[in-house]
Chain A
């Protein structure tokens, strides 16, 4: 099979764990033009390869791993690689992103990795260029992620392989277990590790030395120069490079975005900043920054606890702000060393920090209301590091009531009955990171439209911070490809919602489309990376690096196509707008934020905004379903 001239390899590696066989299939030019790369290649293939109605933990589920179009090149901040399978947490399409697997996969000669079937005993998959091997993992099964990774690094030393591994939580099919790559970067939400566990797949080890070519090196270098100039003139870069996502900690604390007691009360901002803020982070746990491939920011970090009970603890964090959101706020850890300890435990077992934190506050409330007796919890409902550590262990190892909690929100509600239902905050089975009462921007509307359930990344925009001015919003509309003559339909006084002078529902469609297109190219969603690129520059990068001749409209249209294909997967599973449930706490309860009582969001407002969103998509508004005409327009009719 001939290699492409640009930075696509044009090849997908397909491994059948049941038969122990592998093959290579071609990714054709039409697919490259319509779906751009990685996450885009995955979307239509998930529809074709994953049979409708299957149990996500059955051998019929398929794992798709797609590296971004620009991943593996020098283009800055473009490492994003998406994993897809049917999610065991939500039953929807499950997607998650990392910055660490795609580049070596492409250097080995593959844009995409497809894993089917189920191995008869624990195994790991070794991909070293054209050498593909399904290896025995009997000695690794039962080990935590850090130990597994170190063992595999050592086994193939001096090569510095990339190791993606699951821990005991994935082996035990915990439905919010995660895959950790190189002991740091996550494929985090939706229980992808449980799918690996169900297939007896402990790890994937990748090493590639085939390299990638650039279609037009001279044009590519010119683009790199422009992007480098933007990076070096970004005044926020130094702080991002030093403390990563902790840049946003104080903003979120002041917004009331960090709940401490199951979405009833926001953290005291003064306490949050003094105890967990940037100064404390520098002094107590930060050691040094870690970057994904070709990243100019390096927002991940190596942590080292300097004093106290956990002194000497060395661990990594993929996003310390999220660790603080869910361990400092929700789990009420006593300080940053305790946050590091819980992050370390979750990393080793392989659990999603967000879901653990949201579960900790939920369990605490069920316990306070007498729904779970004390004896069942063995201290896991206590605020602080010891309670949360106990909860992590019970869930990861399925001990006692942890066996129920490990099955995720749908199963938990079914187990504890109606009394527990109104207390649970999740969307389609996935608990969210943010909340809409304090700020109803695209992120917090997007958790209701996101194909993978209640997560916000796909809908991140400038509205993540409240109070943007109309002129800023109008300018932003241009950045997401809304033509000047239509901006007045998006930014106007009296727009529905609480955000301000913008129709968040209509804007969300364009944010999702652009973010999906960027993700397919491998571009990271962190604000300092995302804002490096305009749609036109992405178009130019795709031409120079991959040899794709597209218009900027084509690029954005690819994003629309990806979102639509992912939604088609859910519709096939019977998951449509009629099955959407708004969390009771958000539509019926106030949030205590200092002296403020932040009111609930009227359910009718959510529905108004969703009506506008689906109308802007040109879909059937009542069902949230693409029309046949829209599918034909997007060249998706065959799906």
Chain B
């Protein structure tokens, strides 16, 4: 779980996606696009069973953190879906 601006997400084997939480507006476009890619449905809230559902989870009610699951493949679907600059890639 990562809070604050500019936090590096240490994904297995790579460190690419960065979060700027101050820019997150809670639109859930990242979770929508991720769920469409990996579950073939728009199902952003499907988190109950561990690694099911979208590979990241935005704390929408209070916007205190964005969490990436261990099975996040570090693709850039969520980054491309974010129109506010809250998720972005940084080359390592």
A136 at the B interface (CB under 8 A)? no
Q: Are B36 and A74 in contact (CB under 8 A)?
A: yes
Q: Are A294 and B28 in contact (CB under 8 A)?
A: yes
Q: Please indicate the chain A residues that have their CB under 8 angstroms from the CB of B4 in the complex.
A: none
A104 at the B interface (CB under 8 A)? yes
Q: Please indicate the chain A residues that have their CB under 8 angstroms from the CB of B40 in the complex.
A: 213, 217
CB neighbors of B among A61-112 (8 A): 72-74, 104, 107
Q: Which of A10-18, A204-212, A485-493, A495-503 contacts B (4 or more CB under 8 A)?
A: A204-212
Report B53-64 CB contacts with A as 1/0, cut-off 8 Å. 100000111000
Please, which residue of chain B has its CB at the minimum distance from the CB of A73? B42
B71 at the A interface (CB under 8 A)? no
Report B23-52 CB contacts with A as 1/0, cut-off 8 Å. 001111100110110011111111110000
CB neighbors of B among A228-258 (8 A): 228, 231-232, 241
Q: Please indicate the chain A residues that have their CB under 8 angstroms from the CB of B84 in the complex.
A: 241, 298
Indicate whether A211 sits within 8 Å of B27 (C-beta atoms), given known contacts A73-B32, A231-B83, A298-B84: no
Report the separation of the CA atoms of residues A306 and B42 in the bound assembly, to the nearest whole angstrom.
39
| B residues contacting the other copy or chain, number (CB 8 A) | 27
Report the separation of the CA atoms of residues A160 and B53 in the bound assembly, to the nearest whole angstrom.
15
A153 at the B interface (CB under 8 A)? yes
Cβ-neighbour of B33 out of A74, A182, A209, A290 (below 8 A): A74
Q: Please indicate the chain A residues that have their CB under 8 angstroms from the CB of B83 in the complex.
A: 228, 231-232, 296
Total number of residue pairs linking A and B with CB closer than 8 Å: 76
B76 at the A interface (CB under 8 A)? no
Indicate whether A209 sits within 8 Å of B26 (C-beta atoms), given known contacts A73-B32, A74-B81, A182-B61: no
Report the separation of the CA atoms of residues A296 and B28 in the bound assembly, to the nearest whole angstrom.
11
Cβ-neighbour of A295 out of B27, B42, B43, B45 (below 8 A): B27
Q: How far is the CB of A103 from chain B (nearest CB, A)?
A: 8
A457 at the B interface (CB under 8 A)? no
Report A484-527 CB contacts with B as 1/0, cut-off 8 Å. 00000000000000000000000000000000000000000000
Please, which residue of chain A has its CB at the minimum distance from the CB of B52? A209
Q: Please indicate the chain B residues that have their CB under 8 angstroms from the CB of A207 in the complex.
A: 45
Report the separation of the CA atoms of residues A72 and B29 in the bound assembly, to the nearest whole angstrom.
10
Report the separation of the CA atoms of residues A247 and B59 in the bound assembly, to the nearest whole angstrom.
28
Q: Are B25 and A298 in contact (CB under 8 A)?
A: yes
Indicate whether A107 sits within 8 Å of B43 (C-beta atoms), given known contacts A209-B48, A294-B32: yes
Report the separation of the CA atoms of residues A360 and B25 in the bound assembly, to the nearest whole angstrom.
33
Q: Are A107 and B42 in contact (CB under 8 A)?
A: yes
Q: Are B26 and A212 in contact (CB under 8 A)?
A: no
Report A192-226 CB contacts with B as 1/0, cut-off 8 Å. 00000000000000011111111001000000000
For the complex of A and B, the 5 pairs showing the least CB-CB separation, nearest first, are A211-B43, A211-B41, A291-B27, A298-B25, A291-B25
